Amino acid sequence: MKKLFFILSIISVTVISSCDDNSFDGCVQVKMINQLCGTAIYQVVGGDVPDGVANSWTDNNGVTYENVFTTTISPCDVRPENGDIFYVKIVEEQQPSNCAQCLALLADAPEQRLFTVISDDCNVDSSDL
């Protein structure tokens, strides 16, 4: 009986610990707020808001945005324009690039920085939008 209880306890703990409370898969829908050279400011407009995103941020013109972060855009990628909405995947580190990149930075960018890649294969549930 003790063995059965022990085995069931281990199975229960394993099942409970394998449940993912945060189903964030790294994909979010963002809006391009501003960009300069390879630095961009994104606003999360769909999907789960990842950790490391500023709750609110006010630009130099006094406009306040919610759920924003700074990122780097590869100069090799097709660049979205300010106001465009598209999907990105949050990644652990900046992706290497062989393209020359300007080193200028946006003066008023949020301190919160995440690394991203533009992704066409993100599946954000429309109920999250």
Mean pLDDT of the region 57-79? 86
103 token code pair? 């080193």
Q: Specify the residue for token string 């407009």.
A: 45
pTM of the complete model: 0.71
116 CB burial (10 A radius; 0-12, 13-18, 19+): buried
Q: Is pLDDT of 83 > 60? A: yes
Token duo for residue 76: 């090799």
pLDDT of residue 119: 85
Q: Where are the domains of the chain?
A: 27-128
Between 111 and 20, the more confident residue is: 111
pLDDT at position 43 over 50: yes
**Mean pLDDT value across residues 41-62:** 89
pLDDT value of residue 16:
42
Residue 16: alpha-carbon gap to chain centroid: 27
Helices (H) and strands (E) in the chain, counts: 1, 6
